[in-house]
């Protein structure tokens, strides 16, 4: 019950790591708010998380939608104790196929949106608050076709360091965590043809020292640690949850 009486907001909480984390926040006593773009999966996630969950349809790349979401959170709870910025999209595209529209979509969702989400949430946060940003193994490992996504996630890792320095005086900790291959719906939305997916998964598993994908629950445990008082003397770091892929 590390989060009893606390308000935990999970942006991108309707599937994958975000949903697994929201479930664990609720199990440990938090009142949970989730956002997501898909109303169907959002409703299903709220039911799975449990009674009292506030589910808000919101697109992190839409700054006006972020304003509305934060106003709803302020109205419902008055504050935010934990902000987990997990919303994002992933796709592979070789250099020659990257368009300006692709670049803008990827950066708006994976970097610009998260920055302004923190900016808009901070007025609702106080001393003891924690922000966790979902970065990626991709910001330290070169993968063909992953350049734009990786650039955005490298930016998130930089945000954790710099926003951590900016907010430490207010008693708000900011950290990122970098998942490696986690078995979530993000893979099915990555643009890889379904016929190529078995070979791609086998390639990824072979490249991970533990020789498997991680689970959303394993990623969630890292998120909850960084958000909890167990990490009260930790800010500005990036925690890898990657089966050893970044290390050896």
Position 218 scores a pLDDT of 98
Q: Where are the beta strands (DSSP E) in the chain?
A: 7-11, 31-36, 54-57, 82-85, 130-134, 173-179, 238-241
Domain ranges for the chain? 7-240
Q: Which residues does residue 179 pair with via DSSP β-bridges, in sequence order?
A: 241
Can 102 be counted among the known catalytic residues? no
- Alpha carbon of 18 to those of 22, 61, 103, 164, 202: distances in Å? 6, 17, 24, 21, 25
60 pLDDT above the threshold of 90:
yes
Question: Over the stretch 17-57, which tens digit does the pLDDT of each residue have?
Answer: 999 999 999 999 999 999 999 999 999 999 999 999 999 99
Percent of the chain scored above 90 by pLDDT? 90
Question: Over the stretch 230-242, which tens digit does the pLDDT of each residue have?
Answer: 999 999 999 999 9
- The C-alpha atoms of residue 231 and residue 225 are separated, in whole angstroms, by 6
Within 10 angstroms of residue 109's Cβ, the number of other Cβ atoms is: 21
**CATH entry 3.40.50.720 includes domain 7-240:** yes
- The C-alpha atoms of residue 136 and residue 126 are separated, in whole angstroms, by 27
Taking all residues of the chain, what is their mean pLDDT, rounded to a whole number? 95
- The C-alpha atoms of residue 133 and residue 83 are separated, in whole angstroms, by 8
Q: Of 84, 149, 177, 240, which one is the catalytic site residue?
A: 149
64 pLDDT above the threshold of 60:
yes
pLDDT category, 114, cuts 50, 70, 90? very high
């Amino acid at each position: 019950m590390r989060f009893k009486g606390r308000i935990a907001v999970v942006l991108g909480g309707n599937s994958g790591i975000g949903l697994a984390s929201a479930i664990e926040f609720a199990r440990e006593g938090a009142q949970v708010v989730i956002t997501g773009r898909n109303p169907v999966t959002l409703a299903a996630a709220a039911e799975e998380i449990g009674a009292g969950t506030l589910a808000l349809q919101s697109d992190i790349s839409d700054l006006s939608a972020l304003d509305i979401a934060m106003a709803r959170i302020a109205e419902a709870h008055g504050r935010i104790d934990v902000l987990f910025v997990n919303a994002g999209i992933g796709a592979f595209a070789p250099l020659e196929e990257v368009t300006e529209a692709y670049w803008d979509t990827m950066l708006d969702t994976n970097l610009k949106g998260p920055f302004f989400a923190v900016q808009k949430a901070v007025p609702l946060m106080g001393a003891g608050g924690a922000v966790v940003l979902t970065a990626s193994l991709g910001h330290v490992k070169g993968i063909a076709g992953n350049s734009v996504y990786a650039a955005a996630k490298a930016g998130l890792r930089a945000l954790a360091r710099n926003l951590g320095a900016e907010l430490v005086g207010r008693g708000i900790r900011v950290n990122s965590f970098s998942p490696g291959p986690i078995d979530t719906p993000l893979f099915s939305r990555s643009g890889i043809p379904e016929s190529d997916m078995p070979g791609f998964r086998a390639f990824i598993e072979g490249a991970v020292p533990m020789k498997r994908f991680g689970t959303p629950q394993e990623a969630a445990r890292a998120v909850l640690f960084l958000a909890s008082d167990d990490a009260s003397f930790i800010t500005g770091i990036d925690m890898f949850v990657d089966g050893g892929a970044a290390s050896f």
